[in-house]
């Protein structure tokens, strides 16, 4: 048999059956192949539902690959809604010519990430497109999660005086992708932070009153805060934002802003002022780099960065992607 993906594999016939039984099933679990739709019994009465597509390039990067990213991205979105991730679907569009060994690698990463996150991949789909039309792999994951009674988090709960916390240092994923980009390539950067954050988020919900959670993926912290700042201003203390020295060095080298670089294993938590101490303590147990970076004030919906010189400047999301496709 060939060692690459061929158009026949996407044809719905025996070649596809072979791909499913010899490659996809063994990685994500045979259950996922069994029915057109999975029936889930433990989702509870309030369900969180999300989807994301992944077009990251290159497919593998320091710290992870598209398989890990696709699972973590959706798991983390569920966690940001205050949900316990329960089940994922995994839809793949494969490009003719993709080595099966690479496919196996990404599937194994996805499976490992799902196990780490305590979530099952219960259904999916596989298609193949002609060489030149697919850039290797495009992945889409959708996920459902169970939202416990009484949990109600989201931007509607933001209030003046709330404190902004981050769960760890920022920009690692963006920097990792940059480091393997042709032409920009540099060595020594820390690997991507891609990881599931659901367990930490869940613990946080139990320990403190949380108003809102967001994960700073594309566009980084700047994007997340700009989106959240509706009707209120968010003030960020530039000196308090944790950034790993090599991420900072990479951004200085390339003239980028670490606050606009993606993270795939971090989240922003906005909590009332009296919960900040306990919330931060919990986050720091998991990652000592977690930090309090700002607070909310009355205002007009802008995000201001306060620097060491006593000045403030507008923190904005980037116009487009300063990088190649990163998630």
The residue ranges that bind other proteins (CB under 8 A) are: 179, 182-189, 233, 235, 245-246, 248-250, 252-255, 298-299, 302, 304, 307-314, 316, 319, 322
Q: How far is CA 321 from CA 173, 295, 318, in A?
A: 14, 27, 7
84: left (phi over 0), alpha (psi -120 to 50) or beta: beta
CB of 236 to other proteins, least distance (A): 11
CB of 323 to other proteins, least distance (A): 10
The SS3 assignment for 179 reads: helix
Closest to other proteins by CB, 87 vs 235, is: 235
Candidates 83, 204, 82, 227; CA nearest to 155 is 227
CB of 242 to other proteins, least distance (A): 15
Please state, in angstroms and rounded to a whole number, the distance separating the CA atoms of residues 124 and 30: 11
CB of 318 to other proteins, least distance (A): 10
Q: Residues, the chain, total?
A: 327
- Backbone phi and psi for residue 111, each to the nearest 5 degrees, phi listed first: -65, -45
Candidates 192, 92, 216; CA nearest to 142 is 92
CB of 187 to other proteins, least distance (A): 5
Closest to other proteins by CB, 104 vs 238, is: 238
DSSP 2: -
In sequence order, which ranges of 20-99 are alpha helices (DSSP H)?
Answer: 25-28, 66-80
Closest to other proteins by CB, 115 vs 253, is: 253
User: Cα Rg for the chain, rounded, in angstroms?
Assistant: 20
CB of 299 to other proteins, least distance (A): 7
Closest to other proteins by CB, 30 vs 240, is: 240
The SS3 assignment for 305 reads: strand
Please state, in angstroms and rounded to a whole number, the distance separating the CA atoms of residues 206 and 202: 7
Closest to other proteins by CB, 45 vs 187, is: 187
Closest to other proteins by CB, 160 vs 209, is: 160
CB of 247 to other proteins, least distance (A): 9
- Residue carrying the six token digits 């290797």: 136
Closest to other proteins by CB, 40 vs 184, is: 184
CB of 233 to other proteins, least distance (A): 7
Residue 34: partners with Cβ closer than 8 Å, 6 or more residues away: none
Closest to other proteins by CB, 178 vs 327, is: 178
Please state, in angstroms and rounded to a whole number, the distance separating the CA atoms of residues 276 and 273: 5
Tokens coding 152:
């109600």
- Backbone phi and psi for residue 286, each to the nearest 5 degrees, phi listed first: -85, -35
């Amino acid at each position: 048999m060939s060692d690459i993906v061929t158009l026949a594999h996407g044809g719905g016939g025996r070649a596809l059956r072979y791909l499913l039984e010899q490659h996809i099933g063994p990685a994500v679990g045979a259950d996922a192949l069994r029915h057109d739709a999975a029936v889930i019994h433990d989702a509870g009465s309030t369900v969180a539902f999300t989807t994301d597509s992944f077009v990251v390039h290159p497919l593998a990067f320091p710290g992870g690959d598209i398989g890990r990213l696709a699972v973590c991205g959706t798991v983390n979105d569920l966690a940001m809604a205050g949900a316990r991730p329960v089940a994922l679907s995994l839809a793949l569009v494969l490009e003719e010519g993709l080595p099966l060994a690479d496919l196996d690698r990404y599937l194994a990463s996805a499976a490992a990430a799902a196990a780490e996150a305590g979530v099952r991949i219960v259904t999916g789909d596989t298609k193949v497109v002609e060489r030149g039309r697919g850039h290797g792999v495009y992945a889409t994951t959708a996920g459902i999660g169970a939202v416990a009674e009484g949990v109600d988090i989201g931007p509607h709960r933001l209030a003046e005086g709330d404190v902004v916390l981050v769960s760890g240092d920022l920009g690692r994923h963006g920097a990792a992708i940059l480091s393997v980009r042709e032409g920009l390539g540099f060595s020594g950067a820390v690997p991507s932070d891609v990881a599931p954050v659901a367990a930490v988020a869940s613990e946080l919900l139990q320990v403190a009153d949380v108003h809102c959670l967001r994960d700073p993926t594309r566009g980084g912290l700047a994007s997340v805060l700009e989106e959240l700042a509706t009707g209120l201003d968010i003030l960020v203390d530039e000196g308090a934002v944790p950034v790993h020295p090599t991420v900072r060095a990479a951004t200085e080298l390339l003239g980028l802003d670490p606050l606009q670089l993606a993270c795939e294993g971090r989240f922003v938590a906005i909590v009332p002022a009296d919960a900040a101490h306990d919330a931060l303590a919990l986050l720091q147990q998991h990652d000592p780099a977690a930090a309090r970076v700002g607070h909310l004030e009355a205002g007009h919906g802008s995000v201001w960065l306060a620097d060491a010189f006593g000045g403030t400047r507008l923190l904005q999301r980037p116009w487009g992607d300063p990088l190649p496709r990163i998630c």
